[in-house]
Amino acid sequence: MIPATGKPALAAKARLRFDRISGGYMLLYPERGLALNATAASILKLCDGDRTVETIVGELHREYVDRSDDDVRHEVVDFLEGLLKRGLLRVLG
Partner 1 sequence: MTEAPRPYTLVAELTYACPLHCVYCSNPVDFARHHDALEGDDWRRVLREAEQLGVVQVNFTGGEPLLRRDLEVLVEQARALDLYTNLITSGIPLERERLVRLRQLGLDNVQVSIQDARPAESDRIAGREAFQGKLRVARWVKELGFSLTVNVVLHRQNLDRIEESIALAEELHADRLELANAQYLGWAFVNRPALLPTAAQLERARSVAARARARLEGRMEVVFVIPDYYVEFPPACMDGWGRRFIVVTPDGLLLPCLLAHTLPGLSFGNVRQASVEELWTSSPGLSAFRDEAWMPEPCRSCDRRAIDFGGCRCQAFHLTGNAAATDPACSLSPDHALIELARDEAARPPSELSALRYRTARASAAR
Binding site for partner 1 (CB under 8 A): 11-13, 15, 17-19, 21, 26, 28-31, 33, 84-87
Which is closer to partner 1, CB of 72 or CB of 88? 88
Provide the sign of the torsion angle of the four alpha carbons 88, 12, 90, 54, taken in this order. negative
Nearer Cβ to partner 1 (19/70): 19
User: What is the SS3 assignment for 26?
Assistant: strand
In the complex, least distance from residue 76 CB atom to partner 1, rounded to whole angstroms? 18
Residue 44 CB, nearest approach to partner 1 (Å): 15
Dihedral sign from CA coordinates of 54, 55, 57, 61? positive
User: Which residue, 32 or 67, is less far from partner 1 as judged by CB?
Assistant: 32
Beta-carbon contacts of residue 1 (< 8 Å; ≥ 6 apart): 77, 81
